[in-house]
Structure 1
Amino acid sequence: MKTLTQGSAAVRGAILIAVAAALWATTSIAAKTLFTETQLEPIVLAFLRLCIAFPFFFLLMLAEGRKTRLPFNRGMLFGLVVLGFFQAGYQGTYLWAVDLTGAGIATLIALCLAPVLVAIAAAPLLGERPNRTTVLALIAAIIGSLMLVATDVRSPDAARVGGVLIAVLAAAVYAAFTLTSRHMSGGASVYATAFVCFMTGALVLAPIAVLSGGLGELADLDLKAWLLIGYIGIVPTCVGYVCFFRGMQSTPATTSSIIVTLEPLFAAMLAWMILGEALGWMGIAGAFVLTVSVLVASRSGREVSKSESAETVEAETT
């Protein structure tokens, strides 16, 4: 009976994470629609998204604090603020890439390339030794990325080429966020982490949004544009992250990492269905190679981590 209950909880958790991935994928679709139909700047949209999200997570953090004591010290707070700077950088570069290229290709590059960069940087920075499978998966991921952007690189449109480069920058910032979070956010509640990161990100982007002059365009936005902005801030950000956090409580880490990889594929599919963005046969093949490579590298990396942990325990007991 207990096993059956745990199994149903795991299924429910997996469904919640899949819902989160699907909601996150709609961010780029709504953003691209805004950029196409209005003069809204990507940096302003990133700022508004974080402004909508952080009060929501502040309330959740307070509610969580009434039930359990929130671990929050000065060192942890500093770490979360640092993560907030990375959050601001990622939101700005990712939405900028969506504006210049497309919803599908920007999401595929930013989210699929980030784990590859993490795996590459983990060796010199964290001492994680990649095995042969991981190395081959990383090489395949790089090949898949090149196939994915081949059309854009050959395009005479300098903006699209620049968008590809900015998407790569977004992947690098997200990778830095991931590597930093392994050391600087441990012990904080998920809602407290989200609140501090999003609030810090909003504060970082505020002066940039003001200096860019993009806030002046807000007065010209119609009701549809404001509804799309509200949707991005509430549904994929607030609701999406709550679904993810709830799902993680009963879902193994390996399973959740595989499910989350569906986000860029959802984004590419929605971009094709709603926005008419087509990757072409080479792009589709590249997206497939890139996604499979990320899954293989992710699973292989976890096996290496478990092996090193076992070796450490054995060394300490002898």
Structure 2
Amino acid sequence: MPRPALGYATTVVAAGFFAVNGTVSTLALQAGIPATRLTALRCAGAAVALLVVLALVSPGRLRTSRRELPLLTVLGVVGVALTQFLYYVAIGRLPVGIALVFEMTAPVLIALYVWLVRRERVRSRLWGALLLSLSGLVFVAEVWQGGGSLDPLGVAAALAAAVCLATYYLLGERGAATRDPVGLTCWSFVAAALFWSVAAPWWEFDAGVLGERVPVSIGSLELPLWVLVAWIVVLGAVVPFWLSISALRHLPPTTAGLVATVEPVLASVVAWLWVEQVLSGWQVLGGFVVLVGIVLAQTARAEAPAPLPETPAHV
């Protein structure tokens, strides 16, 4: 039987794991590991973990056909590999919460796409969502301060990540209509891992750097870099993914997506407490306005499909 309280709790916990992962990833990037390599490690680690778990628990979910290969390829390369890479570029130049606010405008892009291209009927609240999102981003960027107070490349990467994330959900929506979403997401991770094995060949990676001890901004504590990478793979991808999937057994997809918008709030709090990333009052106000716009966009489609959870799993 559905247990809404459990669904709410599971969704919030998943958002919390994703939020902490933003700061852990920032620490790994600051330690000197390139965004390309960190993305490759995360995609490969998550792909292996999901393949092993599904092979042991539910091998039927791994069945696929050659007809699905083009969809899985684009889903993995654009929706997973590039989304994650651009997110890492963004958080390397922007506060984690700000980067997530920009990336989370994906629901607005999705609603506009299905209205303009697919000619789907959308509710009038879409225009309020668009206005609020654009207005909020103006406050977040503080554009009146000499053209903006944020790194331009970081902003561009975060917005490009939003486009890639919207693509992921639109393609995932089509794929999930004919097959299990868990297996679909697993193969998308596999496609992403294969892409990065070509784009960032493993033989060019000095695995010895994973043994180097790096500061983690907790007093004088230092940990091996591989500990951060293991967190990013297991607790930053696999565990919150399964929690997001589990939540959909107890909550409607739209409700789960709305609850998951707490992620940038949690991410900002974690980054503030952990690495002292302080946001201005205007940025906090802008982030709140954007989140209100995202909430409206989440419900703008007349018949919103079930989301396909991934990082960030908030759409």
Q: TM-score range by the shorter chain?
A: 0.7 to 0.9
Whole-angstrom distance in 1 between the partners of 2:286 and 2:209 = 38
User: How far has the Cα of 1:157 moved from its partner?
Assistant: 8.2
- Report the counterpart of residue 303 of structure 2 in structure 1: 305
User: How far has the Cα of 1:163 moved from its partner?
Assistant: 0.7
Tell me the amino acid that sits aligned with residue 170 of structure 1.
Answer: A
Deviates more, 1:250-259 or 1:203-212: 203-212
Change (3 A) 1:138 1:215: farther
Whole-angstrom distance in 2 between the partners of 1:76 and 1:93 = 26
What is the TM-score with the length of structure 1 in the denominator? 0.84
Q: Alignment identity in percent?
A: 22
Of 14, 17, 20, the residue aligned with 2:8 is 14
Whole-angstrom distance in 2 between the partners of 1:58 and 1:152 = 49
- Report the counterpart of residue 271 of structure 2 in structure 1: 271
Change (3 A) 1:90 1:121: same
Does the Cα contact within 8 Å between 2:210 and 2:225 map onto a contact in 1? no
Change (3 A) 1:152 1:83: farther
Once the two structures are superposed, the pairs formed by residues 90-109 of structure 1 within 5 Å of their partners are 90-109=83-102
Does the Cα contact within 8 Å between 2:136 and 2:286 map onto a contact in 1? yes
- Report the counterpart of residue 239 of structure 2 in structure 1: 239
Does the Cα contact within 8 Å between 1:85 and 1:200 map onto a contact in 2? yes
Change (3 A) 1:44 1:71: closer
Once the two structures are superposed, the pairs formed by residues 107-146 of structure 1 within 5 Å of their partners are 107-110=100-103, 112-146=104-138
Deviates more, 1:43-52 or 1:113-122: 113-122
What is the TM-score with the length of structure 2 in the denominator? 0.85
- Report the counterpart of residue 311 of structure 2 in structure 1: none
Does the Cα contact within 8 Å between 2:142 and 2:149 map onto a contact in 1? no
Does the Cα contact within 8 Å between 1:50 and 1:202 map onto a contact in 2? yes
Gaps of 5+ in 1: 307-318
Q: Which is greater in Rg?
A: 1
Does the Cα contact within 8 Å between 2:175 and 2:184 map onto a contact in 1? no
Whole-angstrom distance in 2 between the partners of 1:52 and 1:69 = 19
- Report the counterpart of residue 178 of structure 2 in structure 1: 187
Does the Cα contact within 8 Å between 1:21 and 1:262 map onto a contact in 2? yes
Alignment of 1:283 onto 2:283: yes
Does the Cα contact within 8 Å between 1:108 and 1:268 map onto a contact in 2? no
Q: Deviations over 1:12-38 (max 9, x none)?
A: 1221111111101112100111222x2
Once the two structures are superposed, the pairs formed by residues 74-85 of structure 1 within 5 Å of their partners are 74-85=66-77
Across the two proteins, how many residue pairs are aligned to each other? 294
Secondary structure of the structure 1 residue equivalent to 2:251: coil
Whole-angstrom distance in 2 between the partners of 1:142 and 1:130 = 19
Structural RMSD (CA): 2.5
User: How far has the Cα of 1:71 moved from its partner?
Assistant: 5.7
Whole-angstrom distance in 2 between the partners of 1:144 and 1:85 = 30
User: How far has the Cα of 1:221 moved from its partner?
Assistant: 3.0
Gaps of 5+ in 2: 214-222, 305-315
Q: Deviations over 1:125-152 (max 9, x none)?
A: 2222333221112111111112112269
Change (3 A) 1:138 1:156: closer
Of 14, 31, 43, the residue aligned with 2:36 is 43
